[in-house]
Amino acid sequence: MDRTLANFIRALRNSEVRISTAETLDAFNTVELVGYRDRSFLKRSLSLVLSKTEDEKETFENCFDQFFSFEDIRGSREAKAANDPDGEGSSSAEGAEGSDAGESGAEGESSAHGEGGTGAKGKKKKPQFTAVEEAEEDLGAGEVTSAQSALGQLLMNDSKVELSVIMSTAGETIDVRSIQVFTQKGLYTRKIMEEMGLAELNREISDLRERPAIPERRLGQELRRRRDWLREQVRDYVEKQFLLHADATGKRLREELLRKVKLSNVEHRSFRLIQEIVFRMAKKLAALHSRRRKIFKRGQINIPRTLRHNMAYDGAIFDLHWKSVKIDRPKVFAICDVSGSVANYARFMLMFLYSLEAVMPKVRSFAFSSDLAEVTELFERNKIEDAIAKTMRDYAGGSTDYGQAFQDFKKLCLDDVDNRTTIIILGDARNNYGDPRTEILKEMYDRAKRLIWLNPEPRNSWYVGDAEMRKYSAYCHQTDVCNSLMHLERIVGNLLRTV
């Protein structure tokens, strides 16, 4: 039972419920007190020691229901006996019921597949067999010999509890909890079936098919039907294990992939997930840098302050005072090319900057494809997603002209740029062979504390065709490739650290 609880806690942690070592010990003590007999009592007791917030309690509810899902085997058998008082077809139809015990996790959905191919009276969909099996004649009901393989005997005896135990043991043996993606469901189903003794059962079925005696051939047909029913139960078990142990892991794998993939290659359906990643990354950076604006560097003593504050002690130094560095919040001007080839990069950079409101309250944003316009108030009046969508709709048209954009920036706010300002330009520097107006960029470079150019193209494309990056990079403090969320997080993090 300790292993069962440990696996349950692992499933909770995989579902992003924070559980410490002390809380794990509390859970073991709780189970030792309440036991596993009363399911609802166990659920309430564990909920008190493992889940803390409202979200965690909801996750705990869902995870507990999935992990400890089972049906009463005795009750299902009594219901079956009541429906079939003469006992006809009980050996076949009952074997196709979609109910397991304990952690096997078989549900009624799989029973719809299992019932159809069990007895002569089955009326639901028949399991898919091979061409040889479908061509065999219907032997009808009658005498059936005894199975010789261990798995065949359990199937013919309707030993559901034993099958559930064997299934769970096989799952532990092959480590079904390591499943990560949904496409591995068939692989783990086959592995569990083989661990349960599928090879021996298949050999017995093949041998029985060649036997001349009708009872033996009838046994072979029945074993095939029950084998297919068992496969459905194992598939359902694997699927539930996936939902318990791999669903959150798979989401993390997708998020890690989206952090590294080029934003221009991201499908539109993944935008929502990327937005969640952006907000989470921004929250992490905000928590990292939302500290006191004054820090003390130990090792650099402020001699005048130390002597002045210790005059009351006749020159004896009791209180040391250290030199401090004032950390000022950055004043950021973001200039984004929102033309078609760069629109996705601009979308998520603006989202990133405005998600850092706690540590970047002075962000002014500008968008252009040809003419440049300030969109700061648009972001203040609307939600981030709506503001970005409106920016892309209003300013993404037109032929890209960096020279015109720089000239518009000079007219709008070049006088506001000072030695506390960081200017971030996001664009591919492709100017359609127009005037690059590098003199304006030089003026911005001289006034600003830092001028950073983020180019979504690889460096070997910066000087090809109509790209003006060779001229622009001479007037930038920093030039970087930025075409993924990972690049964006690193650059913004460095910006916050160096301010």
If one counts the domains in the chain, the total is 4
Cβ-based neighbours of 441, under 8 Å, separated by 6 or more? 406, 451, 472, 475, 476
Pair 87, 203 in one domain: yes
Pair 346, 494 in one domain: yes
According to the model, what pLDDT value does residue 405 have? 92
Pair 215, 113 in one domain: yes
pLDDT of 245 over the 70 cut: no
* CATH (domain of 420): 3.40.50.410
pLDDT of 446 over the 90 cut: yes
Q: Are strands 331-337 and 362-368 parallel, antiparallel or unpaired?
A: parallel
pLDDT of 295 over the 50 cut: no
Question: 326, 342, 368 — which closes off a domain?
Answer: 326
Pair 315, 377 in one domain: no
Own/partner long-range contacts of 33-40 (Cβ < 8 Å, ≥24 apart): 36/1, 36/4, 39/68
Query: What is the helix (H) or strand (E) element at residue 289, kind and residue range?
Result: helix 271-289
Q: What is the mean pLDDT of residues 170-183?
A: 78
Question: 41, 67, 93 — which closes off a domain?
Answer: 67
Answer with the residue of higher pLDDT: 69 or 237.
237
Q: How far apart are CA 74 and CA 185, in angstroms?
A: 30
Instruction: Report residue 295 as tokens.
Output: 């820090």
Pair 97, 181 in one domain: yes
Pair 353, 297 in one domain: no
Cβ atoms within 10 Å, residue 265: 10
Pair 59, 137 in one domain: no
Answer with the residue of higher pLDDT: 101 or 420.
420
3-state secondary structure of 118: coil
Pair 34, 21 in one domain: yes
3-state secondary structure of 316: coil
pLDDT of 116 over the 80 cut: no
Pair 200, 78 in one domain: yes
User: 72 and 63 in contact (C-beta within 8 Å)?
Assistant: no
According to the model, what pLDDT value does residue 220 have? 85
Q: Residues 397-418: pLDDT tens digits?
A: 777 889 999 999 999 999 999 8
Instruction: Report residue 12 as tokens.
Output: 């909770």
Residue 89 has phi, psi (to 5 degrees) of 75, 5
Answer with the residue of higher pLDDT: 181 or 36.
36
In a domain, 312, yes or no: yes
Q: What is the mean pLDDT of residues 441-461?
A: 91
Residue 432 has phi, psi (to 5 degrees) of 55, 40
Task: Select from 38, 37, 34, 62 the least CA-distant residue to 49.
Answer: 34
Instruction: Report residue 91 as tokens.
Output: 């050996």
According to the model, what pLDDT value does residue 291 have? 52
pLDDT of 247 over the 60 cut: no
In a domain, 282, yes or no: no
Mean pLDDT of the chain, nearest integer: 75
Q: Residues 1-31: pLDDT tens digits?
A: 577 788 788 778 777 788 888 888 888 888 8
3-state secondary structure of 368: strand
Pair 341, 392 in one domain: yes
- Report percent pLDDT > 70 for the chain: 73
In a domain, 255, yes or no: no
Pair 309, 391 in one domain: no
Q: Residues 63-94: pLDDT tens digits?
A: 888 777 654 434 444 444 444 444 444 333 33
Q: Residues 272-292: pLDDT tens digits?
A: 667 777 777 777 666 665 554
- The string of DSSP letters for 332-352 reads EEEEEE-STTTHHHHHHHHHH
Pair 143, 166 in one domain: yes
Range of the structural domain that residue 105 is part of:
73-249
According to the model, what pLDDT value does residue 259 have? 66
User: 15 and 63 in contact (C-beta within 8 Å)?
Assistant: yes
Q: How far apart are CA 81 and CA 472, in angstroms?
A: 84
Radius of gyration of the chain from Cα atoms? Answer: 34
User: 322 and 289 in contact (C-beta within 8 Å)?
Assistant: no
